[in-house]
Amino acid sequence: MTGATPREADVVVVGAGLSGLIAARTVLAAGLRPLVLEADDRVGGRILTEEALPGVSVEIGAQWIGDTHHRMFALADELGVPTFPQYDEGETSYELVGSGVLRERDFHARFGAELAELERVLRLLDELAAEVPPEAPWLAPRAAQWDAITAGAWYDGQGLSPVARTLLEICTVGILSVPTVEVSFLHLLFTIQTCGVGAELFAESEGGAQTTRFVGGTGEIPRRLAALIGEHIVLGAPVQLIEHGPDGVTVHCRGGLVARARRVIVAISPALAGRIMYDPPLPGRRDQLTQRLPNGAAMKAFFVYDEPFWRAEGLNGQVISDLGPARMSNDSCLPGADHGVILLFLEGAQARRYGSWPEAERRAALTAELVRHFGPRAADPQCYVDGEWSERQWTRGCYNANFGPLGWTGYGPALAEPIGVIHWASTDTATQWSAYLEGAVEAGERAARAVVAELS
Amino acid sequence: MTGATPREADVVVVGAGLSGLIAARTVLAAGLRPLVLEADDRVGGRILTEEALPGVSVEIGAQWIGDTHHRMFALADELGVPTFPQYDEGETSYELVGSGVLRERDFHARFGAELAELERVLRLLDELAAEVPPEAPWLAPRAAQWDAITAGAWYDGQGLSPVARTLLEICTVGILSVPTVEVSFLHLLFTIQTCGVGAELFAESEGGAQTTRFVGGTGEIPRRLAALIGEHIVLGAPVQLIEHGPDGVTVHCRGGLVARARRVIVAISPALAGRIMYDPPLPGRRDQLTQRLPNGAAMKAFFVYDEPFWRAEGLNGQVISDLGPARMSNDSCLPGADHGVILLFLEGAQARRYGSWPEAERRAALTAELVRHFGPRAADPQCYVDGEWSERQWTRGCYNANFGPLGWTGYGPALAEPIGVIHWASTDTATQWSAYLEGAVEAGERAARAVVAELS
């Protein structure tokens, strides 16, 4: 555009989130030249480790892996990033449907029947999800029926008591990051099935997706990957235009950088991928897909104390509350550090509401919640940090993208299918653990392998 | 970017659809300099008149106005574009729920009870819609409840017979351009209320929105408006980046054109507005709104015959069918021309399905439908023309944008509210006849008047 000399590569990768970095590393390992163009001034995408206090890091973004995240365990091992288990001793603190604050034991004693209802629905969800092929949810025998209703409407139809329905909502929103009435029931079943652990997915910190953390922070993963990819990464290069044809692509960034390559892997969420200009324009089906996969609304808030005082009280740091502002919390302490860290989740409607409040007011409302559950010491943290993702220009929402009704059956095949020399990555396109770190690795590897095969 | 001299204006208008042209004309009338930047190589946006045969024009896009479209009648009058009434004599032809083809009289005789059911639901919709303020649907007393379910789920809950439910779906999809299960029930009520004619909106060609057409084609309206605005319009200038601050905007287009102005009016659909890069970035709420207002899926198909042979049979050219491929049709003949023109609508699931077929196969399937209803002469048109809107790079879907569940209550205030020096137009932001030509005029005038007031 400015007559600057284009940078040449074999494969341009758009986005230096985990999926893009994995794609670039795979391309590099095959003896080809990648060029990663990242809009932001850092790598990591939805991974963001920040120092709350010296030596006390918090995860504004992705924090955990689970026992079946084999790709991530292998990656951490290869990169030399040790892991440690999520703290999970003691009782959860509940307050649901006007129950007041109840310890887990008391909650279970009082709401045994409601918990049995919940178990029944989770088992039913497992049975239904087993019919959904995660690589092609639109081919499920009952796809048309399940895609025509929302997950919330299906939940409402199960005849649940208020406590069971509320608990189910909280657990599900913790995964989807939007209220269940915004999401297709088929998408919910896909989400369960893509993770391969059934509705155990909804269990906080046990079995499912949140058992293990990274020493030094999740940010160590992209940092070390980026070091391996080195000069093949350009930061501060927002892609505006991808010209493409059988011979390759010319990629134009804001600021004038131009790159030429034989293939491009677009490794950002579908909604953001739809904001790039493509020449020639993409098929209507792909374009309308990108209009129908909104990113969720989520923020995380951290309170750092001098010690994890709740542990001595026999509490595990987890809150489940419908009074809020946060619906859930957990213990986010670091191994070998004295500090106590509580993480509060604001997801869906909570993120929308409290995310627009001034920080001091949000913090005050969250403090009141912590005091209800953990006592007066919770009112006096050393430090407070939070992070909201829809404000971040190059992410625009977390944790992931969800289809509303008729999304999968109307547009699903356009999610990951390459278009000419354009390939798609990002965890949202994965078939195993879509929306998780594990899915980001799968998607990046899948796209890179396809490109490498075409170029070999 | 290339050091080219920026074009200077008082107000940049992004998009030369009806809303943008009206905004530019209003700015010009106030003695200020507009500059309209249009990505496409033509003006008109979702208005597109094409010649099917010499002297026989068809409307690929917006075609009608209705009796209460006062702004549009005044505009047509001012621009010297005469109007003519939609042909509406004779009977509609039905086939619903295995009924076979039935003329209106026979359909009414056989399904009187079902039509009474439909009437009851339409009256109820009118009552509920009256509670929705069209300038702020999220303030409706029952907004939270209505925004948490889909229109389709509400319909399903009305205990309707298959014929009444099917008819209701067809009429509604004819307005929304997506299946009712994709749309919030609050959005449906807003749609009814914004039009101010109640559920009569669903009536094809009588009373509602489709009574009147333009001599020479709807395209005469933007063509004549553009002539008045003259050299203040630049075609082929896709806006990529809007830098904005208290002092004004610098707007960057693909190809290097740069424009500076004191204000910008973005007069394109919200989904497309979200694809522009803004510096500084827009608030998260506005950004997430643009991820949650997908454009509909719609295409129109025209068969041109030597004469409107169905009229002699006492038929009005309208089909209502659940067998399809088209769910509805009408008589689109021109005054003073001998030719007969039938227009078939493919909306929502039909547009997605048949829009991806090769034209010859789509035409054959539509021909079979016309033959069922109008006899063998329908098999022999002089000409066939169709147009699908999701394939058009600078529109990406028609007729309009619809919120899914929790869209209005989660993000509604961000739809039309200016952000600093950035104002929003397009019919999707209107409070009267949103999604219609009439709404485009309202929105363009509203945005331009706000800008003029600020600059005066």
pLDDT at residue A21 tops 80? yes
Q: Which of B256, B277, B397 sits opposite A240 (nearest CB)?
A: B277
pLDDT at residue A130 tops 70? yes
Phi then psi for residue A224, to 5 deg, are -75, -35
Contact A297 B288 (CB under 8 A): yes
Least Cα separation, residue B339 to chain A (angstroms): 32
Contact A281 B393 (CB under 8 A): yes
Specify the pLDDT at position A106.
Answer: 97
pLDDT at residue A205 tops 80? no
Left (φ > 0), alpha (ψ -120 to 50) or beta: where does A90 sit? left
Contact B405 A410 (CB under 8 A): no
The label of the residue with tokens 């309208």 reads B318
Between CA B376 and CA B367 the distance in angstroms is 10
Please name the residues in contact with B306: beta carbons below 8 A apart, sequence gap of 6 or more.
B338, B339, B340, B382
Specify the pLDDT at position B1.
Answer: 45
Contact A397 B277 (CB under 8 A): no
CB A291 within 8 A of CB B294: yes
pLDDT at residue B204 tops 80? no
Contact B352 A285 (CB under 8 A): yes
pLDDT at residue A1 tops 50? no
Which residues on chain B are in Cβ contact (under 8 Å) with A388?
A: 284
The pLDDT mean for chain A works out to 96
Q: Which of A148, A179, A355 sits opposite B181 (nearest CB)?
A: A148
Using CA coordinates, name the residue in chain B closest to A290: B291
For A167, what's the count of Cα atoms within 13 Å in the CB-facing half-sphere?
28
Specify the pLDDT at position A209.
Answer: 84
- For chains A and B, CB pairs below 8 A equal 133
**Percentage of residues in chain B having pLDDT higher than 70:** 98
Report, as an integer, the average pLDDT of B113-137. Answer: 96
For B257, what's the count of Cα atoms within 13 Å in the CB-facing half-sphere?
19
Contact B355 A284 (CB under 8 A): yes
Residue predicted with more confidence, A172 or B206? A172
Using CA coordinates, name the residue in chain B closest to A253: B240
Q: Which of A182, A275, A291 sits opposite B405 (nearest CB)?
A: A182
Least Cα separation, residue A70 to chain B (angstroms): 33
pTM, rounded to two decimals: 0.97
Report, as an integer, the average pLDDT of B426-433. Answer: 97
First to last CA, chain A: 31
| Cα distances (angstroms) measured from residue A150 to each of A160, A361, B202, B350 | 16, 33, 25, 21
Q: Which of B148, B256, B352 sits opposite A410 (nearest CB)?
A: B352
Q: Which of B288, B346, B390 is the best substitution to test chain A (most A C-beta atoms within 10 A)?
A: B288
Report H helices in A284-329.
284-290, 309-312
**Percentage of residues in chain B having pLDDT higher than 90:** 94
Neighbours of A200 (CB within 10 A): 16
Contact B150 A152 (CB under 8 A): no
Specify the pLDDT at position B206.
Answer: 55
Q: Which of A281, A288, A295 sits opposite B297 (nearest CB)?
A: A288
Contact A149 B153 (CB under 8 A): yes
Using CA coordinates, name the residue in chain A closest to B392: A284
Neighbours of B85 (CB within 10 A): 10
| A3 band by pLDDT with thresholds 50, 70 and 90 | low
| Cα distances (angstroms) measured from residue B321 to each of B64, B86, B153, B304 | 22, 21, 22, 21
Report, as an integer, the average pLDDT of A410-434. Answer: 97
Report, as an integer, the average pLDDT of B194-210. Answer: 76
Using CA coordinates, name the residue in chain A closest to B148: A181
Report, as an integer, the average pLDDT of B214-219. Answer: 97
DSSP state of B304: E
CB crowding A190-199: b at 16 or more within 10 Å, else e? bbbbbbebbb
Least Cα separation, residue B390 to chain A (angstroms): 5
Contact A181 B287 (CB under 8 A): no
Contact A153 B152 (CB under 8 A): no
Per-residue pLDDT tens over the stretch A245-283 = 999 999 999 999 999 999 999 999 999 999 999 999 999
The helix/strand/coil state of A83 is strand
Please name the residues in contact with A98: beta carbons below 8 A apart, sequence gap of 6 or more.
none
Report, as an integer, the average pLDDT of B267-277. Answer: 98
Q: Which of A156, A254, A275, A291 is the best substitution to test chain B (most B C-beta atoms within 10 A)?
A: A291
The pLDDT mean for chain B works out to 96
CB B396 within 8 A of CB B290: no
Per-residue pLDDT tens over the stretch A52-102 = 999 999 999 999 999 999 999 999 999 999 999 999 999 999 999 999 999
Q: Which of A153, A291, A406 sits opposite B295 (nearest CB)?
A: A291
Which residues on chain B are in Cβ contact (under 8 Å) with A405?
A: 150, 152, 179, 181-182, 404
Which residues on chain A are in Cβ contact (under 8 Å) with B149?
A: 150, 153, 181
Which residues on chain B are in Cβ contact (under 8 Å) with A1?
A: 1-2, 256
Using CA coordinates, name the residue in chain A closest to B179: A406
Using CA coordinates, name the residue in chain A closest to B407: A182
Q: Which of A240, A287, A406 sits opposite B179 (nearest CB)?
A: A406
Contact B390 A356 (CB under 8 A): no
Radius of gyration of chain B (CA): 22
CB A341 within 8 A of CB A56: yes
Least Cα separation, residue A13 to chain B (angstroms): 20
Specify the pLDDT at position B115.
Answer: 95
B299, two tokens: 């295409």
Q: Which of B2, B392, B411 sits opposite A2 (nearest CB)?
A: B2
Which residues on chain A are in Cβ contact (under 8 Å) with B150?
A: 149-150, 153, 405
pLDDT at residue B207 tops 90? no
Specify the pLDDT at position B291.
Answer: 98
Least Cα separation, residue B149 to chain A (angstroms): 7
Cα A450 to chain centroid distance, Å, stands at 24
| B99 band by pLDDT with thresholds 50, 70 and 90 | very high
Per-residue pLDDT tens over the stretch B40-88 = 999 999 999 999 999 999 999 999 999 999 999 999 999 999 999 999 9
Q: Which of A406, A408, A411, A428 is the best substitution to test chain B (most B C-beta atoms within 10 A)?
A: A406
pLDDT at residue B205 tops 60? no
Which residues on chain B are in Cβ contact (under 8 Å) with A274?
A: 275
A288, two tokens: 């309308």
Largest CA distance in chain B: 73
Per-residue pLDDT tens over the stretch A39-63 = 999 999 999 999 999 999 999 999 9
Q: Which of A186, A272, A288 is the best substitution to test chain B (most B C-beta atoms within 10 A)?
A: A288
Least Cα separation, residue A409 to chain B (angstroms): 10
| A204 band by pLDDT with thresholds 50, 70 and 90 | low
Specify the pLDDT at position B382.
Answer: 97
| A201 band by pLDDT with thresholds 50, 70 and 90 | confident
Q: Which of A275, A284, A294 sits opposite B292 (nearest CB)?
A: A294
CB B372 within 8 A of CB B101: yes
| B243 band by pLDDT with thresholds 50, 70 and 90 | very high
Least Cα separation, residue A392 to chain B (angstroms): 8
Q: Which of A2, A352, A411 sits opposite B1 (nearest CB)?
A: A2
A13 membership: H or E segment, kind and range: strand A11-14
Using CA coordinates, name the residue in chain A closest to B289: A294
Residue B8 pairs in a beta bridge with: B260
Which residues on chain B are in Cβ contact (under 8 Å) with A292?
A: 294
Residue A304 pairs in a beta bridge with: A341, A383
Q: Which of B271, B281, B291 sits opposite A393 (nearest CB)?
A: B281
Per-residue pLDDT tens over the stretch A297-342 = 999 999 999 999 999 999 999 999 999 899 999 999 999 889 999 9
Residue predicted with more confidence, B421 or A203? B421
Kindly write down the DSSP assignment for every residue of B53-115, as one continuous string.
Answer: ETTEEEESS---B-TT-HHHHHHHHHHT--EEEPP--SEEEEE-TT--SEEHHHHHHHSHHHH
Using CA coordinates, name the residue in chain A closest to B275: A275
Cα B377 to chain centroid distance, Å, stands at 31
Q: Which of B2, B150, B288 sits opposite A294 (nearest CB)?
A: B288
